[in-house]
Amino acid sequence: MDLGLRGKVAMVAAASQGLGKAVALGFAREGANLAICSRNETALEVVAKATRAYGVDTLAVPADVTRAEDITRFIERTVSHFGGIDILVTNAGGPPAGTFQDFPDDAAWQAAFELTLMSAVRLIRGVLPSMRARGGGAIIVMTSSSIKVPIPNLILSNVFRAGVAALAKTLAEEFAPYNIRVNNVLPGRIATERLLYLDQVTAERAGVSVEEVRQRTIAEIPLGRYGDPEEFANAVVFLASERASYITGASLQVDGGYIKCIY
Ligand SMILES: NC(=O)c1ccc[n+]([C@@H]2O[C@H](COP(=O)([O-])OP(=O)(O)OC[C@H]3O[C@@H](n4cnc5c(N)ncnc54)[C@H](OP(=O)(O)O)[C@@H]3O)[C@@H](O)[C@H]2O)c1
């Protein structure tokens, strides 16, 4: 299937490793030009080089998505380099693990709000004028299985990702008159550095090995394994493509069957 992405301009936030990196490579494989950001300039440039191997033009912009001015610069540099934006994938690192009682003060809540929710708000607000001027676009927000089933010991992530999901659903309707589709992709358990960190935290709390945690989790996943980042990226790339032209406001879980609820 030709996804119709050749020559499109896709912005992918937080793309120096893990899911963001896999999504950037997924777009590159389909011939889309890229603007990618993250804080670690060296790691970001390695990803940029890997995408350019597919013959696409990739702009790498060091930026911290918790800083409004960095997001503005990321978008301005993308528009000035490519002339406009067709696709936006919002992404960021995950907030620290912990329960309600682990975060008694405002600081951790405020930081998670900026990282998870406001980064998506600012990225979307920033690309809107360009997408409107081009007559349409596609926005994908990356959230988590936790928007359907909250994950124990991840209170900050659970709360603000639910906000991102509500944002995407609301904007799907608000932006439809501009031919801008907005969809949400939910990773279940995809094998990245973040997942390793979470398994380590769980192992320490439970007093068992990381391998034990991994095996317990895998036992809950019908497909019997963690996902590969490329499998997650394939869903994002499809939803951003011309072949998903009638899909907006959707929440697509990529989880090997891990989420047990019907909706
Ligand atoms: N993997 C999973 O199974 C899973 C499941 C549910 C939800 N998620 C969520 O999906 C997101 C991506 O997951 P992942 O597994 O790819 O995580 P990851 O391996 O920790 O990668 C996070 C990426 O975000 C970048 N980043 C972190 N903070 C940033 C900031 N302030 N500004 C710009 N870039 C930033 C990091 O690069 P720099 O260090 O270079 O900035 C890195 O490229 C996370 O929010 C994670 O919590 C993942």
Strand partners, 60: 36
How far, in Å, CA of 19 to CA of 17, rounded?
7
Domain count, the chain: 2
Indicate whether 133 and 239 sit together in one domain: yes
Q: Does one domain contain both 81 and 164? A: yes
CA of 177 to the centre of ligand 1 (A): 32
Do 173 and 213 fall within a single domain? no
Ligand 1 centroid to Cα of residue 209, in Å, is 24
Q: What is the mean pLDDT of residues 121-144?
A: 98
If asked whether residues 101 and 218 sit together in one domain, one would say: no
- The encoded tokens of residue 25 equal 């490579």
Q: Which residue's structure tokens are 């011309």? A: 242
Determine, yes or no, domain membership for 208.
yes
Q: Tell how far the Cα of 10 is from the centroid of ligand 1, in angstroms.
A: 18
Q: What is the pLDDT of residues 159-189, one digit of tens each?
A: 999 999 999 999 999 999 999 999 999 999 9
Q: Is 110 in the pocket of ligand 1 (CB under 6 A)?
A: no
The rounded percent of the chain whose pLDDT value lies above 90 is: 97
Ligand 1 near 66 CB (within 6 A):
yes
* Predicted local distance difference test score (pLDDT) of residue 105: 79
Q: Label residue 104 by pLDDT band (50, 70, 90).
A: confident
C-beta of 94 in contact with ligand 1 (< 6 A): yes
Closest ligand 1 atom to Cα of 39: 41
**Residue among 178, 75, 177, 86 nearest 119 (CA):** 75
Closest to 197 in 3D by CA, of 159, 225, 157 = 157
What is the rounded distance in angstroms from the CA atom of residue 141 to the CA atom of residue 148?
15
Same domain, 118 and 239: yes
Owning domain of residue 109: 9-190+229-252
How far apart CA 62 and CA 183 sit, in angstroms, is 26
Q: Is residue 67 part of a domain?
A: yes
Does pTM top 0.85 for this prediction? yes
Residue 257 domain-assigned? Answer: no
Does position 45 have pLDDT exceeding 90, yes or no? yes
CATH number at residue 19: 3.40.50.720
Is 261 inside any structural domain?
no
Residue written as token pair 């002339």: 83
Residues 200 and 150 in one domain: no
The 3 state secondary structure assigned to the chain is CCCCCCCCEEEECCCCCHHHHHHHHHHHHCCCEEEEEECCHHHHHHHHHHHHCCCCCEEEEECCCCCHHHHHHHHHHHHHHHCCCCEEEECCCCCCCECHHHCCCHHHHHHHHHHHHHHHHHHHHHHHHHHHHHCCEEEEEECCHHHCCCCCCEHHHHHHHHHHHHHHHHHHHHHHHHCEEEEEEEECCECCHHHHHHHHHHHHHHCCCHHHHHHHHHCCCCCCCCECHHHHHHHHHHHHCHHHCCCCCCEEEECCCCCCCCC
Is residue 164 one of the residues assigned to a domain? Answer: yes
The C-alpha atoms of residue 247 and residue 23 are separated, in whole angstroms, by 19
**Between the CA of residue 202 and those of 19, 146, 212, 260, what are the distances in Å?**
21, 16, 10, 21
- For residue 218, what pLDDT band results from cuts at 50, 70 and 90? very high
For the chain, what is the mean pLDDT? Answer: 97
User: Do 57 and 138 reside in the same domain of the chain?
Assistant: yes
Same domain, 100 and 131: yes
Is residue 1 one of the residues assigned to a domain?
A: no
- Would residue 114 count as lying in a domain? yes
Asked if the structure places residue 57 within a domain, the reply is: yes
How many other CB atoms sit within 10 Å of the CB of residue 232?
25
90 lines ligand 1 (CB under 6 A): no
Both 143 and 175 in a single domain?
yes
- Ligand 1 pocket residue status of 147, Cβ below 6 Å: no
Give the pLDDT of residue 115. 98
The Å distance, Cα 183 to ligand 1 centre, comes to 19
Contacts of 259 (CB under 8 A, 6+ apart): 145, 148, 149, 186, 188, 253
- CB of 38 within 6 A of ligand 1: the answer is yes
Is the CB of 78 inside a 6 Å radius of any atom of ligand 1? Answer: no
Q: Are 128 and 210 members of one domain?
A: no
Going by C-alpha positions, the residue among 192, 194, 190, 196 that lies closest to residue 209 is 196
Please calculate the CA angle 100-104-107 and round it to the nearest 5 degrees. Answer: 110
Kindly state whether residues 17 and 79 are assigned to the same domain: yes
Q: Is the confidence at residue 263, as pLDDT, over 90?
A: no
* Domain identity same for 52 and 167: yes
